[in-house]
């Protein structure tokens, strides 16, 4: 018995030392980028004194919409809080609460796969203990070990070695994000032949098989929290590349109907139709969810239009 207690004590001490040391470790380019854009986006939200519209989602939101454009077309103050979808819906929504206050409108544009329950990803288990350890205190009990021990020494070593290699890509750079949280990268000159070829090869997303009577608990909790704090929640379809199957395969009609029913069942207004936010292949950047500048402009106008039918589309 004494040996068991000694072993537990050693594990506890090592875990405490590891968690204390993590915030001082050198993060990967990916996690550093996430924190860097959060700093800009949350700073933008904090600077707006009056009611604002906050766009919430993963990188489809970050790359797909322009808060500046939507502000100009609708006459409202808008912040783009889009982040890395790999953080998961639970974290994205919990973090978004920190940037919302009474009178605000939260526009949820979560990627389709985020509407289905899943355990914390490698991205989340790397990012949270290093940059946002306070989130762990409110996480689900079954997920806490993943956050506490989520970063292995091998992954930390890999990130350290990676940071010795200069990041030369024009994409995923903090300095290309504006003070309203908008991405500015994605010009035609930054789209490589490989990206263009990939745009033609992306398959349709999985049909997922969502049930409208079983919404993701974190979405239900977010809507309830928002309602209690005087915040309006609306849902908009996330930008993604157009595929013929979305119109011809009945499984996708069922998916889109289930999503609409889920949010309407929670008392959340659903804006527009899925097809309003389909991207053409020449509007893609580097994944089927990421719009280039051209796609970003069109998606921004589509969102402005469903928010305000009188929205005025003007070239940036």
The pLDDT assigned to 310 comes to 78
Residue 227 domain flag? yes
Residue 316 domain flag? no
The pLDDT assigned to 25 comes to 54
Residue 215 domain flag? yes
Alpha-carbon distance of 182 to 184, in angstroms, equals 6
Burial (CB < 10 A; 0-12, 13-18, 19+), residue 176, is middle
3-state secondary structure of 284: strand
Alpha-carbon distance of 176 to 174, in angstroms, equals 5
Residue 273 domain flag? yes
- Supply the mean pLDDT for the chain: 88
3-state secondary structure of 13: helix
Residue 198 domain flag? yes
The pLDDT assigned to 18 comes to 43
Low-confidence residues of the chain, pLDDT below 50?
A: 7-24, 315-316
Residue 314 domain flag? no
The pLDDT assigned to 28 comes to 87
The pLDDT assigned to 279 comes to 98
Chain centroid offset of residue 151 CA: 21
Domain residue limits at 141: 2-307
Alpha-carbon distance of 210 to 196, in angstroms, equals 31
The pLDDT assigned to 148 comes to 75
CATH number at residue 242: 3.40.50.1110
Residue 312 domain flag? no
Q: At what angle do helices 122-131 and 29-47 cross, to 10 degrees?
A: 60
What global pTM score does this model have?
Answer: 0.88
Residue 207 domain flag? yes
- Tally of domains in the chain: 1
The pLDDT assigned to 128 comes to 94
Q: Which long-range contacts (CB under 8 A, 24 or more apart) does 149-153 make?
A: 149/15, 149/18, 150/120, 150/122, 150/124, 150/125, 150/126, 151/22, 151/125, 151/126
Helix and strand numbers (H, E) in the chain are 13, 7
């Amino acid at each position: 018995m004494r040996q068991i207690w000694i072993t537990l004590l050693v594990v506890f001490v090592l875990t405490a030392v590891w968690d204390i040391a993590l915030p001082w470790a050198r993060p990967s380019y990916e996690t550093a980028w996430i924190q860097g854009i959060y700093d800009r986006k949350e700073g933008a939200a904090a600077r707006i004194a009056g009611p604002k519209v906050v766009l919430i989602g993963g990188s489809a939101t970050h790359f797909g919409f322009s808060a500046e454009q939507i502000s100009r077309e609708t006459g409202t103050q808008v912040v783009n809080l889009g982040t890395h979808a790999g953080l998961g819906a639970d974290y994205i929504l919990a973090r978004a609460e920190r940037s919302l206050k009474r009178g605000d409108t939260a526009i949820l544009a979560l990627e389709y796969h985020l509407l289905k329950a899943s355990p914390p990803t490698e991205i989340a288990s790397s990012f949270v203990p290093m940059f946002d350890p306070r989130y762990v205190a409110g996480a689900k009990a079954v997920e806490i070990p993943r956050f506490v021990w989520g970063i292995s020494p091998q992954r930390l070593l890999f990130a350290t070695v990676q940071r010795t290699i200069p990041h030369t890509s024009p994409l995923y750079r903090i300095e290309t994000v504006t003070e309203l949280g908008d991405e500015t990268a994605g010009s035609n000159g930054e789209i490589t032949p490989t990206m263009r070829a990939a745009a033609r090869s992306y398959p349709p997303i999985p049909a997922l098989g969502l049930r409208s009577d079983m919404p993701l608990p974190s979405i239900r909790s977010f809507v309830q929290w928002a309602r209690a704090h005087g915040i309006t929640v609306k849902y908009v379809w996330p930008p993604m590349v157009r595929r013929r199957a979305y119109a011809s395969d009945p499984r996708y009609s069922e998916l889109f109907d289930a999503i609409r029913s889920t949010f309407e069942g929670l008392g959340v207004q659903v804006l527009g139709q899925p097809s309003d936010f389909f991207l053409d292949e020449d509007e893609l950047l580097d994944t089927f969810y990421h719009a280039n500048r051209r796609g970003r402009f069109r998606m921004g106008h589509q969102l402005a239009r469903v928010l305000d039918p009188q929205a005025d589309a003007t070239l940036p």
